[in-house]
Structure 1
Amino acid sequence: MPPEPLTPERILEATEDVLRRFGPAKATVVDVARALGVSHGSVYRHFGSKAALREAVTDRWLDQSHAELSAVADSEGPAAPRLRAWLTALFAAKRRKAGDDPELFATYMVLAGENSGTVERHIATMIGQIAGIVESGVRRGEFAPVADPSATARAVWDATNRFHDPAYAAEWGQEGIEAAFGTVCDLVLRGLSTSP
């Protein structure tokens, strides 16, 4: 059976495994190539540098939540339940990432720190999805008119920071976190609502 073709996706999967085993300080492109059974030059043909490979892995990791959240943001129906569902899905995704593989989560925190542009693009995508929900809520008369949906979306992002910023990951398993999350969601939705 011929060897499986070397693709960027295979390289990224192998890189995740290598990062999990060795951590970001010790993982090398040679380790990734060895895991794939290829030369390190073959890896460099797909990713021009170690930094580019690490950025692509970070991008892939952050993008994993975009599709699920986009489906919620783009769904039909009243805006308030959609926004709550979106925030709930984001919190659940972050908790899964932190809890399911804590070593890889810690590694990604290092990589995210190295790739601030990737993180900024991720945050812009997230805020754009919230802004879309806010805009639809305003159009439907469910949310009070806002001068700038993007600024409002950024305020929602900032207000819920405790439930998605990895800096708070240690709190996500604490007793009472669900109630705290519900209280913040209620407050945000009351602030947006046209109802008194």
Structure 2
Amino acid sequence: MATETLTAERILAATEDVLRQYGPTKATVVDVARALGVSHGSVYRHFRTKAALREAVTKRWLDRTTDELLRIVEDTSARAEDRLRRWNIHLFEAKRAKAGADPQLFATYEVLLRENSATVDEHIADLVGQLTAILEAGLDGGEFTLGSVEPARGARAVFDATVRFHDPVYAAQWTLPGIEQDLDAVLDLLLCGLRVRG
């Protein structure tokens, strides 16, 4: 038996390793338990079902990116325009790094993301909420104008306009020459439309 206390965090870390090794179709709770040196019943005491465990792993993976982006949102020393640009670039770089550094685990997460649409919907809502906060800061600071568009709707429009740079469907394009310039061009156009003209 394991000498370390079995925690949800240890189980999630082991599950990532098992998913990396076996993939989403072959990985089992027994494999996770074996990697931890515990019985599968011990794993089930923390996560009632295999689906709950996989959903928690997906959420953990997505939350890492969300937490990193939140630091950009909360950096009130920077102008809203700068935060919006940095936020989108960081989101792209984080997704691209995950796809390139560990393609097998990234492929696993693509499967898990499809299985856990509620988790993905929550993640997208968090991201759009962060964009909303940046747009509201820009409105409050006199940097941005949205016309008659509500900030949340404007944030969703920004998110949708940059989908090529963060949706895993487009991962194969993330290593193409000029992709960074493409993102810069999209951000330049978006910021041009948001900027208050004086």
Shorter-chain TM-score range: over 0.9
Could you tell me which residue of structure 2 aligns to residue 178 of structure 1? Answer: 180
Extract unaligned runs of 5+ from structure 2: none
Where 1:137 maps in the other structure, the secondary structure is helix
Matched residues in 2 for 1:36 and 1:6: separation? 8
Identity score, percent: 60
Q: Work out the CA distance in 2 between the residues paired with 1:23 and 1:68.
A: 26
What is the DSSP-based 3-state SS (H/G/I as helix, E as strand, rest coil) of the residue aligned with 2:187? Answer: helix
Q: CA deviation at 1:106?
A: 0.1
Q: By how many angstroms is 1:107 displaced?
A: 0.2
Distance in 2 of aligned mates of 1:9 and 1:23: 20
TM superposition shift of 1:78: 1.2
Counterpart in the other structure of 1:141:
142
Please give the secondary structure, in 2, of the residue aligned with 1:16.
Answer: helix
Matches within 5 A, 1:35-46: 35-46=35-46
State the Cα deviation string for residues 115-162 of structure 1 (Å, max 9, x = none).
Answer: 000000000000000000000101111001443100000000000000
1:54 paired with 2:50, answer: no
The answer to whether the 8 A contact 2:146-2:154 is kept is no
Q: 1:145 to 1:188 in 2, by over 3 A?
A: closer
- 1:33 paired residue number: 33
- For residues 4-83 of structure 1, the aligned pairs below 5 Å read 4-76=4-76, 77-83=78-84
CA RMSD, 1 decimal: 1.0
1:172 counterpart SS class: helix
| Structure 2 counterparts to residues 90-129 of structure 1, below 5 A | 90-129=91-130
CA distance, structure 2, for counterparts of residue 34 and residue 145 of structure 1: 54
The CA deviation string for residues 16-73 of structure 1, in whole angstroms up to 9 with x for no partner, is 1110111000000001001101000000000000000000000000001111100001
Question: Residue type matched to 1:90 in 2?
Answer: L
**Superposed displacement of residue 195, structure 1:** 2.1
- Normalised by the length of structure 2, the TM-score is 0.96
Structure 2 residue identity aligned to 1:127? V
CA distance in 1, matches of 2:167, 2:113: 12
